[in-house]
Amino acid sequence: MIKRSSGFTLIELLIVIVILGILTSVALPGYQDHVRKTRRADAQGALTGLAQAMERHFTSNVTYATGSAATVPTIFATQAPIDSPTKYYDLRVTASTATTYTLQAIPIAGTSQVEDGRLRLDNFGNRAWDRNANGAYDADELCWAEEC
């Protein structure tokens, strides 16, 4: 009588591991890109919320200037996402006068968003996204879309 062994051979297991490795190498970058976009959308929403807070402050006080400090908003959250314990962006009022303001969402050092660049929104509703993270807003970066 011949004894049959059941189970998987080493070759079969190695083939499965290789297939899983290939699938992971294809899926992981797409997932990471999706997470980065979601975090950026959270920061865009937080900037819009801060802009609304600035407008409410202006309506009550007839000035934007006292609604903010030079670096930290005093009438809204200071980081985004607002409802998460892990923060990826600092929200800042980078310029403010009695009649104008400029808001920025700046990626926090040490997070995965650092290479995603800054977001900007001003009192006129002008938006910019420093996609190449070089510290300047180029002509093709004057919107929040992937391509302007």
pLDDT by 10s per residue, the chain, length 148 = 677 777 788 999 999 999 999 999 999 999 999 999 999 999 999 999 999 988 988 888 888 886 555 434 466 777 777 778 889 999 988 888 889 999 999 999 999 898 899 999 999 999 999 999 898 999 999 999 988 7
Taking CA atoms, 138 is separated from 31, 119, 131, in Å, by 28, 12, 9
pLDDT of residue 72: 43
pLDDT of residue 78: 78
Task: Centre a 10 Å sphere on the Cβ of residue 32 and count the other Cβ atoms it contains.
Answer: 11
Distance of CA 135 to the CA centre of its chain: 16
Using CA atoms in the order 126, 129, 134, 139, what is the torsion angle rounded to 10 degrees? Answer: -50
- Please tell me the predicted confidence (pLDDT) of residue 58: 87
- Matching residue, tokens 């200071």: 78
Do 101 and 114 meet the contact criterion of CB atoms below 8 Å apart? no
Burial class (CB in 10 A: 0-12, 13-18, 19+), 101: buried
Q: Hey, what's the torsion of the CAs at 66, 91, 109, 42, to 10 degrees?
A: 180
3-state secondary structure of 132: coil
Rounded to whole angstroms, the Cα distance separating 91 from 18 reads 44
